[in-house]
Structures are given as C-alpha cells and as structure tokens.
Amino acid sequence: MDETHPFSMISFPEACKLYEDGKHRRYDLLFAVNGGAFAIAKLITPQAELGGLRRPHIAAGMVLFTILIVFDIFTFGDKWASLGKRIVPVDDYEFFSRRGRIVLAAIGLLICTGWLLSIGLL
C-alpha cells in the first residue's frame, strides 16, 4: 500500500468493522421504522384514521422511505466496494458483493410488496 494514501492508515480488520457497523446501522433503521409503522398500520382499520392518516398514506410513506433507505444502503455499499479494493489485502474478498446487492434488492422489494399488499394494491 502507498504510505501517503489516507487508507494506508487503516487495517483490514478496522475497515471490516467500519463497513459492518455502517451497514448494520442502516439495516437496523430500515427494519425498525418499517416494523413500527407496520404495527401502527395494523391497529388502524381500513376506514379509520390516526391523526388524519389512513393506512394508504402510511403505506405510501413507508414505500418511499424503504426506497430511499435501500438507495442509501446501496450507495454506502457501492462506496465501500470501491474503497475496499484499496484496503483489502486479499483478492477473494469484496465489500458489497453481487450477492449483497441481490439480498438488498430482494429485502427492499419484499418490504414494498408487503406495504402494497396491506392496502390491497397487489
């Protein structure tokens, strides 16, 4: 590694920890907010309101939130994938691999599908 490069000051285990912690916080936010909103939406009957919000409003907001957070996780992972090529000492390890991208897309799709099903759009 080039000693003048800023990433030469970080070790492989430190890089892995930074990546995993950042990814974990983002996934936690995705699941916590969706889980809380889904619990609230379950309490609201299709005709009832909660502070002026109906279930379709909550579902639309959560689909948008999910898309934004999935985009944020993808952007974070993509950034680390390029940085990782400068940090990782082995050729067979990759930050945010193709498998990780597929899993992220599947999770986002499943959550959005659940919200759309909850209001009868699918």
pLDDT in tens, 69-106: 999 999 999 998 887 777 766 666 778 888 999 999 99
How far lies 104's CA from each of 31, 36, 55, 88, 89, in Å? 12, 20, 25, 22, 26
State the pLDDT at residue 117.
92
Enter the pTM of the model.
0.81
52/89: higher pLDDT: 52
Distance CA 12, CA 66 (A): 31
Per domain, the residue ranges of the chain are 6-118
**Do 73 and 30 touch, CB atoms closer than 8 A?**
yes
Lowest mean pLDDT among 1-10, 31-40, 76-85, 106-115: 1-10
Q: Residue 95's CB: how many other CB atoms inside 10 A?
A: 22
